Amino acid sequence: MKASQFFISTLKEAPADAEVVSHQLMMRAGLIKKLGAGIYNYMPMGLRVIRKVEAIVREEMNRAGAVEMTMPVIQPAELWQETGRFDKMGPELLRIKDRHGRDFVVQPTSEEVITDVMRQDIKSYKQLPKNLYQIQTKFRDERRPRFGLMRGREFIMKDAYSFDRDQEAAKASYQVMAAAYRRIFDRFGLTYRAVAADSGAIGGDLSEEFQVIAATGEDAIVYCPGSDYAANMEKAEALAPQSERKAASQAMTKTATPGKATCAEVAELLAIPLETTVKSLVLATDTLDETGKAVKTQVWLLLLRGDHDMNEVKVGKVPGLADFRFATLPEIEEHFGCKPGYLGPLNLQKPVKLVVDREVAALADWVCGANEADFHITGVNWGRDLPEPELVADLRNVVAGDASPDGKGPLAIERGIEVGHVFYLGTKYSKAMNATFLGENGKPQFLEMGCYGIGITRLPAAAIEQNHDAKGIIWPDSIAPFTVVLCPISPDRFPDVKAAADKLYGELLAAGVDVILDDRNERPGAMFADWELIGVPHRVTIGDRALKEGQLEYQHRRDAESSKVDASTALDFLKGKLGLAVAS
Amino acid sequence: MKASQFFISTLKEAPADAEVVSHQLMMRAGLIKKLGAGIYNYMPMGLRVIRKVEAIVREEMNRAGAVEMTMPVIQPAELWQETGRFDKMGPELLRIKDRHGRDFVVQPTSEEVITDVMRQDIKSYKQLPKNLYQIQTKFRDERRPRFGLMRGREFIMKDAYSFDRDQEAAKASYQVMAAAYRRIFDRFGLTYRAVAADSGAIGGDLSEEFQVIAATGEDAIVYCPGSDYAANMEKAEALAPQSERKAASQAMTKTATPGKATCAEVAELLAIPLETTVKSLVLATDTLDETGKAVKTQVWLLLLRGDHDMNEVKVGKVPGLADFRFATLPEIEEHFGCKPGYLGPLNLQKPVKLVVDREVAALADWVCGANEADFHITGVNWGRDLPEPELVADLRNVVAGDASPDGKGPLAIERGIEVGHVFYLGTKYSKAMNATFLGENGKPQFLEMGCYGIGITRLPAAAIEQNHDAKGIIWPDSIAPFTVVLCPISPDRFPDVKAAADKLYGELLAAGVDVILDDRNERPGAMFADWELIGVPHRVTIGDRALKEGQLEYQHRRDAESSKVDASTALDFLKGKLGLAVAS
């Protein structure tokens, strides 16, 4: 490609609404152009990156035995009503009406449609397993779209769906996909982790997220540097404390803590470790009648150590708390006789169900609210001041330094950007949509499913968050818009420069290298700034002075300076840099 | 590809709603699966065809200097309001609201968005010309979607847009695209015609449709077998009659024609040539006030020969008739004192504007309605019975045998399916959206535009309408889902058959041939029926008996019978059939 025939459009400044570096650089490098909130044009430079991402995904999906198809963007509501998602999903699901007033949705994913396809086509276990995927435009009407392609409304996703005859086969299909994902992310050339994720109501361990590591990532990733354990924050287990609970050593004492409504403030006031304070979180669950009206409410009190954070997914797994909500102020006052800030398990107005984090259950001489404004209680002990806790569970987020669940040392935490997810679905959709096949025993059975997504347009953003510097983007070779850029200096004045650039350009093209020749006659400074911003990994400068000595200049985007290369061996030199076979 | 790893799903019967052969065969061959009215899943077999169409289009667009990008499917209404299309377009434009109640459309094309992109990016004439294209999902909410992918609601279109500094440059860009389209359609391997089309209000001859010739096509194509003249029916000019009008030879006579309300019935009753009868069509035009209310109405009478059909596009070009409508019954009765069926230009109740087709203006002794039920007038003559017509124009569709406008012989008519369109837009969109650039003179000028579409998902349907037989589809090599299918007979019983099939499969793959090996262990009859239905052009059968004599069987999808090929030379034989280089 010659730059003059391409569409290059760089900006000096990023727009004000670009908050994260990937968004800023994608706008400045002319990869995307905003059309509306969370809706972007993929400009020619950006589309080249997206197409390379797609190509790698497609190759590895095909290699893993998945077959490509395309499902519609606009889908009839009927199928979504069969699974209940048409009503259950929030306003992220863009619902539309056609000219006849019939309901449709713009696909955010396609479980319903693929299940509909398969229930028509799969008659017998002999036709299984099957894995079908698409790379297609999706839409999620995010309340607050932001960060460019990181959290857009319209985006491209690869979604694959596996269909199997039984759980065992489905789990094998899942493992095939998980392995394909590792190959895909290896090929992208990014630093990533496959982390165990929560698999919701289905249970089991068959859910993994693929997280691109970046300090700016929205997700916290928990891993063990001493092993291959890795999980997202929702999933990572906090082990029970290894040491026995100490004996009570303090008397229970009501203590004035005026205006100190947080554990941190109380710990500071009383000069005690934050780890000995206990925070009280009040939840509620409702029993509904047939019309969905709450007819009975149960209030729960969660106790967590003052230095720990509640993990909503773990709390949701406590028996009875699947559909919990936070209690209202009137509910809290009714049961505790006090406003939040000074709550605790002692001196209740009305009984509540107590759920205690493992760490709190192991505490002695702890501090909690007195259920009286501006007062806390110190020296509280289980079995003495209140009964031994009955319902003890892991309710908290792990913190760095916690023991790894695999016993291989302490956990560490880093940030990541989720760009892929593999998930064992079981029969959730096949049961809802009555998608059956005849098993070997001649009886109808529900299809066992898995689903597997990759955020095609999010991936370039994640790659940039991980790989950039003050000058711009630094692409890995695999997904760079161009792998090599040739920058002739003043080719209009120096025919030998033009000739050398044209020759190398032709040779690289013939070798199958994705090269762009900058023939725009820009000044060197502006030209270099453009390509550093755009992030093409390999740059060759062809200047008159060096050329007179038979030399070109090579600079990798990560190199601080350029190095001289013999013009006569430049082709082989570049092939070596790109990992291509060099003719001997 | 091995068939066992692919997704093959053929049907014995087409669904009842599949009216045309391409729809029937695409459903039966498992290329598409219906999701809703006019909305289809592109199944793996169909997607392969679509991808090949896309690849050819992409290659030739790139070769012609166009640059690929992608515009959003869901587009903010604001831009569409700038050009007025948000209100002007009918219910085919799918309008939607997001969660905040803001208006959006699902793109049917993207003139507004690309113009918005370019008005931001193009500052100077030095950046021109530019041509950007996308291959992307589109939606048109057709009132009556039908014929499968031929007239669906969701479809894939390639749309390109050129931007130039002046008309001359824009016309050059148009010609570059028109030439690229010829290469594209040549490569598809289909019989097609590029026909001149009407360019609406813009005028000039810079609008061509690319029509795939098929007896079932919706469009009539006019062409001259003796030259390269071709136009669609809307555009094709009917030349003025070459011979002088004959002298009047009959007296004007009111004649009873009871119950004969059509020209054909009158001609039969009176035993006269249909060509001497004249039909009367009553139109009306309204003068609107500022609120859009009609404040004045003009009634027009169109005269056409009884054997000719009105051409609405030509009528719309008559001065004053740009926004014509058909007159209402009360309007007709008010001006003619008579119901339709017996109308004519004589004995009017109120004056009307007369517009006369060239052929009618050349008639002598003609017949028209008497403006009295059950009566016609015969022997009517211009200049004697009514004044010479003032407003004479080409108002009719041409018919086979009419003289070609280029004077190279008579016209012929065939049917076609429109799959591409190149169109010079001028400044229609750039003016509406104030998309300017600084010209060489330093002054802002409007961008000169062209637009260029190809119906990516319609093309396979058109190809099938043109290429099929009783057994199924017959794909041209270029867009076949697979180019070659290998059919081993009972490979499980005959190891030599399996070995020969596997060997040839490996050799063809290595030669870059898009081959599928049918390893499903189907009976030969069912296997052949599947591949004949699917339409793979080249089939090699590997059977035990022939193989013992060192032979395979080759059959092109168009061949009535198979022919023997030496197994040892089968690879070169197939390469020859596919037009690939054969090693000497």
Give per-residue pLDDT as tens, A533-559: 999 999 999 999 999 999 999 999 999
CA-CA distances (angstroms) from residue B567 to A89, A158, B553, B572?
60, 42, 9, 10
Q: Tell me if B411 sits within 8 A of B235, measured CB to CB.
A: no
The number of residues making up chain A comes to 584
> Stretch B78-101: mean pLDDT, rounded?
93
Q: Tell me if A353 sits within 8 A of A391, measured CB to CB.
A: yes
> Stretch A274-300: mean pLDDT, rounded?
92
Q: Which chain B residue has its CA at the smallest distance from A122's CA?
A: B9
- Helix B458-466 crosses helix B21-28 at what angle (to 10 degrees)? 110
CB-side neighbour CA atoms (13 Å) of B21: 18
Spatial neighbors of B499 by CB under 8 A, at least 6 apart, are none
Q: Tell me if B498 sits within 8 A of B492, measured CB to CB.
A: yes
* Same domain membership, residue B31 and residue B136: yes
**Averaged pLDDT of chain A:** 95
Give residue for tokens 């000096």. Answer: A12
Beta strand B563-566 with A563-566: parallel, antiparallel or unpaired?
A: unpaired
Indicate the DSSP class of residue A381: -
ipTM computed for the complex = 0.91
List the structure tokens of B13. 């019967």
CB contact under 8 A, B5 and A153: no
CB contact under 8 A, A75 and B113: no
pLDDT-derived band at B290, boundaries 50, 70, 90: confident
Using the predicted structure, report yes or no on whether residue B405 has a pLDDT greater than 80. yes
Q: Is A389 helix (H, G, I), strand (E, B) or coil?
A: coil
CB contact under 8 A, A68 and B47: yes
Report the amino acid identity of residue B19.
E
A65 touches chain B (CB under 8 A): yes
- Helix A458-466 crosses helix A21-28 at what angle (to 10 degrees)? 110
Percentage of the residues of chain B whose pLDDT score is greater than 90? 92
Give residue for tokens 């939840």. Answer: A283
Residue A187, domain CATH: 3.30.930.10
Using the predicted structure, report yes or no on whether residue B201 has a pLDDT greater than 70. no
Residue B312 belongs to domain spanning: 253-393
Beta-carbon neighbour count of residue B410 at 10 Å? Answer: 12
Kindly state whether residue B244 falls inside one of the protein's structural domains: no
Residues B65, A427: Cα–Cα separation, whole Å = 50
> Over the Cα atoms of chain B, what is R_g?
30
pLDDT single digits (tens) A394-432: 999 999 999 999 999 999 999 999 999 999 999 999 999
Kindly state whether residue B408 falls inside one of the protein's structural domains: no
List the structure tokens of A464. 């940039």
Phi-psi region of B553 (alpha: psi -120 to 50; beta: other; left: phi over 0): beta
pLDDT single digits (tens) B457-478: 999 999 999 999 999 999 999 9
Distance from CA of B453 to the nearest CA of A (A): 18
Question: Helix, strand, coil: what percent of chain A each, to 5?
Answer: 30, 30, 40
Instruction: Among B36, B74, B76, select the one facing A76 at the smallest CB separation.
Output: B36
Using the predicted structure, report yes or no on whether residue A245 has a pLDDT greater than 70. yes
A98 touches chain B (CB under 8 A): yes
List of chain A residues whose C-beta atoms are within 8 Å of the C-beta of residue B36: 72, 75-76, 104
Kindly state whether residue B203 falls inside one of the protein's structural domains: yes
> Stretch B348-352: mean pLDDT, rounded?
95
List the structure tokens of B412. 């012929």
Domain boundary among A359, A393, A427: A393
Q: Tell me if A67 sits within 8 A of A131, measured CB to CB.
A: yes
Q: Which chain B residue has its CA at the smallest distance from A143's CA?
A: B99
Beta strand A219-223 with A278-288: parallel, antiparallel or unpaired?
A: unpaired
Kindly state whether residue B474 falls inside one of the protein's structural domains: no
> Stretch B294-310: mean pLDDT, rounded?
95
Give me the pLDDT at residue B203, please.
55
* Same domain membership, residue A297 and residue A156: no
Kindly state whether residue B529 falls inside one of the protein's structural domains: yes
* Same domain membership, residue A77 and residue A182: yes
Q: What are the backbone angles phi and psi of residue B63, rounded to the nearest 5°?
A: -60, -35
Give me the pLDDT at residue A203, please.
55
Give residue for tokens 């095609």. Answer: A456
CB contact under 8 A, A72 and B98: no
pLDDT single digits (tens) B520-572: 989 999 999 999 999 999 999 999 999 999 999 999 999 999 999 999 999 99
* Same domain membership, residue B211 and residue B88: yes
List of chain A residues whose C-beta atoms are within 8 Å of the C-beta of residue B154: 72-74
What is the DSSP annotation of A478-535?
GG-S-SEEEEESSTTT-HHHHHHHHHHHHHHHHTT--EEE--S---HHHHHHHHHHHT
Beta-carbon neighbour count of residue A431 at 10 Å? Answer: 13
Using the predicted structure, report yes or no on whether residue A356 has a pLDDT greater than 80. yes
CB contact under 8 A, A116 and B143: no
* Same domain membership, residue B504 and residue B365: no
B191 touches chain A (CB under 8 A): no
Burial class (CB within 10 angstroms; exposed 0-12, middle 13-18, buried 19+) of B286: middle
pLDDT single digits (tens) A301-339: 999 999 999 999 999 999 999 889 999 999 999 999 999
* Same domain membership, residue B334 and residue B431: no
CA A174 to chain centre: 19
Longest dimension (CA), chain B: 93
pLDDT-derived band at A487, boundaries 50, 70, 90: very high
Q: Is B256 helix (H, G, I), strand (E, B) or coil?
A: strand
* Residue B485: strand pairing partners: B516, B539
CA-CA distances (angstroms) from residue B499 to B213, B294, B493, B495, B574?
43, 80, 12, 6, 18
Handedness of CA A502, A508, A510, A516 (dihedral sign): negative
Phi-psi region of A578 (alpha: psi -120 to 50; beta: other; left: phi over 0): alpha
pLDDT single digits (tens) B113-130: 999 999 999 999 999 999
Handedness of CA A281, A284, A285, A291 (dihedral sign): negative
Indicate the DSSP class of residue B442: S
Report the amino acid identity of residue B492.
D
pLDDT-derived band at B242, boundaries 50, 70, 90: confident
* Residue A565: strand pairing partners: A552
**Averaged pLDDT of chain B:** 95
B524 touches chain A (CB under 8 A): no
List the structure tokens of A510. 């013939």
B117 touches chain A (CB under 8 A): yes
* Same domain membership, residue B156 and residue B45: yes
Beta strand A412-426 with A392-393: parallel, antiparallel or unpaired?
A: unpaired
Q: Chain B 143-182, CB below 8 Å of chain A: which residues?
A: 143, 153-154
Residue B516, domain CATH: 3.40.50.800
Indicate the DSSP class of residue B170: H
Using the predicted structure, report yes or no on whether residue A464 has a pLDDT greater than 80. yes
The lowest-confidence range among A562-566, B30-34, B578-582 is: B578-582
Kindly state whether residue A358 falls inside one of the protein's structural domains: yes
pLDDT single digits (tens) A429-462: 999 999 999 999 999 999 999 999 999 999 999 9
Per the omega criterion (within 30 degrees of 0), is the bond before A491 cis?
A: no
Pick the closest to residue A569 from A560, A582, A555 (CA basis): A582
List of chain B residues whose C-beta atoms are within 8 Å of the C-beta of residue A44: 67-69, 132
Of B445 and B323, more confident: B445
Beta strand A484-488 with A515-517: parallel, antiparallel or unpaired?
A: parallel
Distance from CA of A51 to the nearest CA of B (A): 10
Give me the pLDDT at residue A581, please.
82
Domain boundary among A339, A363, A393: A393
* Same domain membership, residue A215 and residue A175: yes
pLDDT-derived band at B583, boundaries 50, 70, 90: low
Report the amino acid identity of residue B4.
S
CB contact under 8 A, A120 and B33: yes
Using the predicted structure, report yes or no on whether residue B204 has a pLDDT greater than 70. no
Instruction: Among A40, A74, A132, select the one facing B106 at the smallest CB separation.
Output: A74
Using the predicted structure, report yes or no on whether residue A583 has a pLDDT greater than 70. no
pLDDT-derived band at A584, boundaries 50, 70, 90: low
Give me the pLDDT at residue B205, please.
66
List of chain B residues whose C-beta atoms are within 8 Å of the C-beta of residue A145: none
Residues B125, A575: Cα–Cα separation, whole Å = 38
* Same domain membership, residue A420 and residue A375: no
Residues B575, A71: Cα–Cα separation, whole Å = 35
Residue B258, domain CATH: 3.90.960.10
Indicate the DSSP class of residue A440: T
* Same domain membership, residue B169 and residue B25: yes
Using the predicted structure, report yes or no on whether residue B202 has a pLDDT greater than 70. no
Residues B445, B447: Cα–Cα separation, whole Å = 6
Residues A154, A145: Cα–Cα separation, whole Å = 10
CB contact under 8 A, B42 and A69: yes
Pick the closest to residue B163 from B132, B136, B203, B204 (CA basis): B132
Pick the closest to residue B404 from B196, B245, B175, B219 (CA basis): B196
A96 touches chain B (CB under 8 A): yes
Q: Tell me if B232 sits within 8 A of B312, measured CB to CB.
A: no
Q: Using CA atoms in the order A9, A11, A17, A19, what is the torsion angle rounded to 10 degrees?
A: 100
Q: Which chain B residue has its CA at the smallest distance from A33's CA?
A: B117
Kindly state whether residue A403 falls inside one of the protein's structural domains: no
Give me the pLDDT at residue B199, please.
75
Count of structural domains within chain B: 3
Spatial neighbors of A10 by CB under 8 A, at least 6 apart, are A28, A29, A30, A529, A530, A533, A534
Residues A46, A54: Cα–Cα separation, whole Å = 12
Q: Tell me if B437 sits within 8 A of B165, measured CB to CB.
A: yes
> Stretch B325-347: mean pLDDT, rounded?
95
Per the omega criterion (within 30 degrees of 0), is the bond before B129 cis?
A: yes
Q: Tell me if A449 sits within 8 A of A426, measured CB to CB.
A: yes
* Same domain membership, residue A198 and residue A61: yes
| E strand or H helix that includes residue A469 | strand A468-469
Kindly state whether residue A242 falls inside one of the protein's structural domains: no
Q: Is A189 helix (H, G, I), strand (E, B) or coil?
A: coil
Q: Tell me if B34 sits within 8 A of B153, measured CB to CB.
A: no
* Same domain membership, residue B225 and residue B291: no
